[in-house]
Structure formats: C-alpha cells, structure tokens
Amino acid sequence: KRIVALKVLSASLSKNQDFVRRFQREVETVARLGHPNIVMAYDAGILPSPGRGEASLHYLVMELVTGGDLEQYVYDHGILSIPQACEWIRQAASGLQEAHNNHLIHRDLKPSNLLRSVPRDSSDDALHSGAPSESKIKLVDFGLARQFCSTLTDPRMLLGSIEFMAPEQSIDPSAVGPPADIYGLGATLFWLLCGQTPYPIEQNLASVLRALQSEKPRRLRQFLPE
C-alpha cells in the first residue's frame, strides 16, 4: 500500500542485449546504494512475455519523488539564490560520495537527474521568500553508471548529456573516473545559479565537442557580475 515510481525498459529495447544489460546494471546499482540523497529501490524483476515473439518486461520499483527535477525547477521558477543552490548541490554531493564509496561512477550528472523530495506541508512560496527549503535532493538514473574498473563501455560510445559532460568523457567514456562526476555536479551548480551551461548549447554535435575539448568554459561572473 505504498505509492511508488515504476521504471520499465521499453519493449522495443528489450530485445537489445546492450540495453537489457544497462538496465540490469542500474537495478543492481540502485539496490546496493542506501542513502537519503539517492532514490531508493524497493523491488525489481522481469515479467515474462505473454506470447511467442513478444518482449519480456524489465521493471524497477523505486520510491516516488514528487517535487520534480532541478532542470524543470529553474525553467518554472528561475535561478536559485547562492545559499539555496549550494545547499542542494551539497546534498547531491553527499549522495554522489556514497556512489563513489561503492566504486561507482554515475557518468550523467545533470539537473534533470536531481529530484526534489518535498514535505507534504511545504510550498515553493517559502523557498522564494528567503526561508530555508526543507526539500531533500535525491540522485536518480544510474543507467550509465559503471564500476571504476569496468571495461563494459565501448570507448567510441558517447554516453551522457553533453552540456554537463566533462571534457575527458567526450574523448574516452570508458576511462572516466570520479572527477567527471564532480565536473557534472559543478556544471549543474552553474545552471542553478544562472540558468546557463558552461559551454553554449548548440545543435551541431561536432561544434559542441570541439568547444568542450579545446575551449575554456564560460565563467559564472559573465552572467552574475556581482
């Protein structure tokens, strides 16, 4: 009698063993991480296919986090104050440290993978009045996570969201370590404070990669002179 979030692997992807392995890895990863700043896993399994030729349903049951993600929060409410942004990133860093302590790299740190767990009696009005927020930040989506020494990732595969991706991850995704996650967390803090990404968002992937690998990121002072 608990309301939960149910994550399932699309039936169209269930026949692709690479996606199945990635989903199973996420299930195993979340199941072994018990931390207040990481979304909790309750159950997981496979529902057999109802007929010949149909895909089985792979599912992960997690706690339901109702406050939305931090990317949408900035779109809806605007940038955060420095104290509030730093507090939310501190919480995210605490969850990330738990993952690193378990020899796991998230590899996709970005505002949309940080969720707000909001107490029932709180509101965003208090947040914008300058009062401290009681929201708890929870890290989600370990679908790209890997162990420090894993060789599962193809060095040629570009995984993660490029606007928040560390430069070294764009060169060799299989070789990244904890610093790549810390970069993503810093880029997320940048977004929360000014609504921008360290590098300009462009449609052309080649241009984005070229800038990421050879140019300096924009400075926060450019958007917040104070």
Three-class HEC string of 29-56: HHHCCCCCCECCEEEEEEECCCCCCCCC
> 146 with 102: CB under 8 angstroms?
no
User: Residue 224: pLDDT above 90?
Assistant: yes
The number of angstroms, rounded, from the C-alpha of 68 to the middle of its chain's C-alpha atoms is: 13
pLDDT tier at 156 (50, 70, 90 boundaries)? very low
- Exposure string over 150-172, b if 16+ CB within 10 A, otherwise e: eeebeeeeebbbbbbbbbbbbee
CA dist 157 and 164 (Å) reads 16
Tell me the one-letter amino acid at 28: E
CA dist 135 and 85 (Å) reads 12
Active site residue 69: no
Tokens of 39: 């979304």
| pLDDT per residue as tens digits for the range 106-149 | 888 999 999 999 876 655 544 544 545 678 999 988 765 554 44
Task: Show Cβ contacts of residue 81 under 8 Å, excluding neighbours closer than 6 positions.
Answer: 130
- Active-site residue identified among 108, 125, 141, 154: 108
Question: Considering only 33-37, 133-137, 185-189, 219-223, which range has the smallest mean pLDDT?
Answer: 133-137
Neighbours of 200 (CB within 10 A): 12
pLDDT for the residue numbered 48: 85
Neighbours of 130 (CB within 10 A): 9
Dihedral sign, Cα of residue 21, residue 23, residue 24, residue 30:
positive
Scan for tokens 């608990």, then name that residue.
Answer: 2
pLDDT tier at 103 (50, 70, 90 boundaries)? confident
CA angle, residues 84, 71, 94, in degrees to nearest 5: 50
Phi, psi of 3 (to 5 degrees): -80, 130
| pLDDT per residue as tens digits for the range 89-100 | 999 999 999 999
